[in-house]
A and B are shown apart, each in its own frame.
Chain A
């Protein structure tokens, strides 16, 4: 599986935007970029995914670099409930399994 690199931790002030980076320099053409987050004491939950174009949903936006070697998850206005570990995962379109990396632990400061 292609590897992803994320910062171990980040901090953000409440109600400010948060940009969570992910590097994936060995991404292949058939790898989708997925983001999941794990709130404290819960299982992971889906945030967003994309292939080449930027994506928006009610939870977040995903900005994908033109060469696809990096991506950024954008939370437009961080709330205390967004404090979680955020995982950037590459998965080939033909596969069903997810392999988690180390993720970024996001702390939101009131």
Chain B
């Protein structure tokens, strides 16, 4: 199994600012995934982040709004840029360690005022 931690666990931000969310895994993994879960909704995949290459974004998500870094095999960051209240969500990272099981972090609860 994989143990995933995220920082911060929650934050309250002002509109127009940016927040960087960190995801740390206790094992080396090739692929990491970022999801968004809006209040009362299911999870939506934002992007897939492979180490050493550009992240692949899903339809409706763009790099300018959600830049992702993947500097090594155990770490990734997701930045939510120029935030608006509509960005208030839980952001989760996940990894695939032993296909096909996917492990999820505890999430970062973001509130934008």
Chain A interfacial positions (CB closer than 8 Å to B): 32, 34, 36, 42-46, 49, 85, 87, 91, 96-103
Contacts and interface: CB of A to CB of B under 8 A. Distances in A.
* Interface bracket on B: 20 to 34
Interface stretch (B65-73, B77-85, B104-112): B104-112
A97 B42 contact: no
A44 B104 contact: yes
A32 B100 contact: yes
Contacts, number: 46
26 contacts: A32-B100, A34-B100, A36-B102, A42-B106, A42-B107, A43-B92, A43-B105, A43-B107, A44-B43, A44-B102, A45-B103, A46-B102, A49-B100, A85-B42, A91-B100, A96-B31, A96-B48, A96-B99, A97-B45, A98-B33, A98-B45, A98-B94, A98-B102, A99-B45, A100-B43, A101-B42
B96 interface: yes
Contacts of A99: 45
- The B interface, classified by DSSP as helix, strand, loop or mixed, is strand
B100 to A, nearest CB: 6
